[in-house]
Amino acid sequence: MKFLILGHYSYDVLHDSEGAERQTRGGMHQVIERLAGLASRQDRIIPVLGVQSAEHAAIIQELKALPNVDSSGIYPMETPCHRVHYYPQANGTRVACVREMADPIPFERIRKFLDADGVLINMMSGTDLRLETLDEIRMAIRETGTKLHLDFHNLTLGIGPNGERMRRPVPEWRRWAFMADTLQMNEEEIGGLTLERMSEQQTVGHILTLGVKGVVVTRGAMGATLFVSEHKQVIRKDGATPAAPGESGPGSGDRFGAAFFLQYCTTGDLGKSLEFAVAAMTGAE
């Protein structure tokens, strides 16, 4: 099978109270690694994203260790990769600030790879794709049976005057949702998605009227919930329990989404995809 991955390649820069900093690979690298590890060696995984020219060769070389990853869609760009800086606060929390922002991925870079079994879009920065680009993708694949999984992720975050990331509603959330077969958000993201301040159940109900087949809400150590519509009723299925909490922390939702996406593309079964993704996070796959 052939899987297309779209989203900004990013770095997390962690600052400590002493002024030192440490840079790590962001969520997209984890998505690629997780999908490559779960997929078969015969599958073909194609990330389409830009990386700064100075970093391009090193990233391509690193991905060669993953034999089922095709790096031909990774292109050099003059602008920096997306970087988020995390600063510790006195109360134990961290403030996230964007210091470098990459340009959106243009459709021209994506078009030739759309003969895929599935498209995974993770909005790592929130500006990874323009809504018009998502519309072009949907139009190109709507007759092919290609499945499209959209992780709203940082689409639900704005950028303040000092670069700080802050939760804000997404006025065009219905148009974004309409383009996807399956949607993913965490509890905080879906809670702040709408201007109307609807409950999670209400928001899911509206989303499922747009043709979306399934909505997944990740809940950190508590697992995840799948919502589907059956006979115009919203049906809820929870995966994992407090007794089997699974993996949580930064990037866990990205890795969960990769596992869910793979299983859904392979089986077309949303319930089994939830179970597989939860098992993958607990090490039980």
Task: Give yes or no for residue 259 having a pLDDT over 60.
Answer: yes
- For 5-32, write each residue's pLDDT tens digit: 999 999 999 999 888 999 988 889 999 9
Which of 36-45, 100-109, 162-171, 235-244 shows the lowest per-residue confidence on average (mean pLDDT)? 235-244
Domain range list for the chain:
2-9+27-81+102-282
Task: Give yes or no for residue 187 having a pLDDT over 90.
Answer: yes
The answer to whether the CB of 110 falls within 8 A of the CB of 79 is no
Sheet with strand 10-15: strands edge to edge: 21-25, 10-15, 82-88, 94-100
Pairing of strands 44-52, 74-77: parallel
Q: What is the CA radius of gyration of the chain?
A: 18
- For 195-207, write each residue's pLDDT tens digit: 988 999 999 999 9
User: How confident is the model at residue 273, as a pLDDT?
Assistant: 96
Higher pLDDT, 144 or 26: 144
- For 74-114, write each residue's pLDDT tens digit: 999 999 999 999 998 888 788 999 988 889 999 999 999 99
* pLDDT band per the 50, 70, 90 thresholds, residue 221: confident
User: How confident is the model at residue 250, as a pLDDT?
Assistant: 56
Distance CA 276, CA 239 (A): 9
The answer to whether the CB of 241 falls within 8 A of the CB of 273 is no
Higher pLDDT, 19 or 1: 1
* pLDDT band per the 50, 70, 90 thresholds, residue 284: very low
Architecture of domain 2-9+27-81+102-282: 3-Layer(aba) Sandwich (3.40)
Distance CA 154, CA 245 (A): 24
- Alpha-carbon distances of 144 from 133, 175, 200, rounded to whole Å: 18, 21, 32
Distance CA 64, CA 81 (A): 20
With both helix axes pointing from N to C terminus, report the angle between 27-38 and 252-267 in degrees, rounded to the nearest 10.
Answer: 40
